[in-house]
Amino acid sequence: MIEYRVAQSSDAKAIAALHARSWRENYRGSFRDEFLDGDLLGERLGVWSERLERAPANQLVQIAVDGESVVGFVCAFAAHDPRWGSFIDNLHVAHECKRGGVGSSLLKHVGAWLDPQYADLGNYLWVLEVNSSARRFYERVGGQNAGVSTKESHGGSVVRSCRYTWSRPALLAQL
């Protein structure tokens, strides 16, 4: 049975491990091999330790836990951008749990968290253009592709990413 809860600083290592694993499984060919094959776990652990130990008030990190294992997580920043609204910075689900409702449930938690204070703001995230399975998922849960941008990403890679949007958090909360 999967349980959902707000992440704590003690979850940083498990989140970093899932994040590194997800990037290695899904971003090969988009991110540089030397970045993916290097100390990706250490780099991600630094990011997640910082985010969880010094969390800004507008940040939510929600995790999905199956027994003792973190099998999914989402990170969102409320009112992040004046035009696009609140930013869903990361959504990752362990490969073995995909298509089981974990991703939708995590987005639903984000929507429920945002809706009371930011009901009139949009929501957005970036997904690699080549990540067709993630793009299909976001379209199934009501995301609209608002365009493609080319930008430098982690490890110095240049990638094409699609901005998926939702006009208000209630759309996520209703998933």
HSE value, Cβ hemisphere, 13 Å, CA-based, for 63: 22
Domain region containing 18: 2-173
Tens of pLDDT, residue by residue, the chain (175 residues): 999 999 999 999 999 999 999 999 999 999 999 999 999 999 999 999 999 999 999 999 999 999 999 999 999 999 999 999 999 999 999 999 999 999 999 999 999 999 999 999 999 999 999 999 999 999 999 999 999 999 998 889 999 999 999 999 999 998 8
Q: Taking the model in full, what pTM does it have? A: 0.94
CATH classification of the domain holding 41:
3.40.630.30
- What is the maximal distance between C-alpha atoms in the chain? 43
The pLDDT assigned to 175 comes to 82
The one-letter amino acid at 145:
N
For the sheet containing 85-93, what is the strand order?
2-6, 59-66, 69-81, 85-93, 123-128, 158-166, 144-152
For the chain, how many structural domains are there in total? 1
